[in-house]
Amino acid sequence: MGNAGFQDQTAVVTGAGGTLCSAVAKELARLGAKVALLGRSFDKLASVAADIRATGGAALPIAADVTDVEALTAACKAISEKLGPCELLVNGAGGNQMQAVTTITEFAPEEISPLGAEGLRGFFNLDLDRFLDVLRVNLMGTVIPCQIFGREMARQGRGAIVNFASMNSYRPLSRVPAYGMAKAGVVNFTQWLAAYLAPAGVRVNAVAPGFFLNDRSRKILLDEAGNRTARGQNVIGHTPLRRFGEPDDLLGCVCWLLDDQRSGFVTGITVPVDGGFLASSGV
């Protein structure tokens, strides 16, 4: 049972082993697309592929690092040979590094004290190598797939790309300067690439998820008993719909942005899917 807009089209989903993008991949397959699953853990990708195949869909898992040009070039060749050239691209790969995350929300003299403070990590003692890693995977991990798979789209004269931005794209949330900087860059790059690829018939948009529960965020927003942490409660206090996002909450927006029949005149935008977080100051 496929959607005429996606039937037999080849979709590439990066970060497809994760909570959100595995759901996106399964939905695209349900709507008729042949889905290539990219990520660093083949076991996770194979599990998603098995779920897709069990319902009659087509899936190809390929382990590849989105910052590795050679690996993605090889993946692109394999996908084209086995599924056909890429027509839909979802750039969901990303992540953070604890050594690029502060343990405090504002400057404290202890972070520059010669004596230091055990367990304290402020801006002045962040690990800059890990900071660069975060920029690389979130920003270049979006740029590189766009270049490699976008080339195929430009050659065909059609295609749609959806990048993953974040609430950090709009507001510099506390403690995550590298991640926020990278995700702000994703929005700017999405706008730039949309204008650049318009003559090639390729649309480029992004989604900006609010606070969704996945493997990483669950540890921050909930305690071991499943109750909200102080940070989790603060998030809910700023979210008018008073809940965290679930993977299914993203599917309609992502699929709409990919569908030329329904959003064929939409390019260069980033859509918040956030339960109203951006609309509320919490005051």
Annotated catalytic residue, options 6, 149, 179, 189:
179
CA-to-CA distance for 210 and 249, rounded, in angstroms?
10
Strand partners, 245: 212
Chain Cα centroid distance, residue 269: 15
Can 179 be counted among the known catalytic residues?
yes
> In terms of C-beta density within 10 A (0-12 exposed, 13-18 middle, 19 or more buried), how is residue 46 classed?
middle
Nearest to 6 by CA among 23, 16, 26, 15: 26
Which 3-state string (H, E, C) describes the chain?
CCCCCCCCCEEEEECCCCHHHHHHHHHHHHCCCEEEEEECCHHHHHHHHHHHHHCCCEEEEEECCCCCHHHHHHHHHHHHHHCCCCCEEEECCCCCCHHHCCCCCCCCHHHHCCCCCCCCCCHHHCCHHHHHHHHHHHHHHHHHHHHHHHHHHHHHCCEEEEEECCHHHCCCCCCCHHHHHHHHHHHHHHHHHHHHHHHHCEEEEEEEECCECCHHHHHHHECCCCCECHHHHHHHHCCCCCCCECCHHHHHHHHHHHCHHHHCCCCCCEEEECCCHHHCCCC
Q: Which residues are catalytic?
A: 179
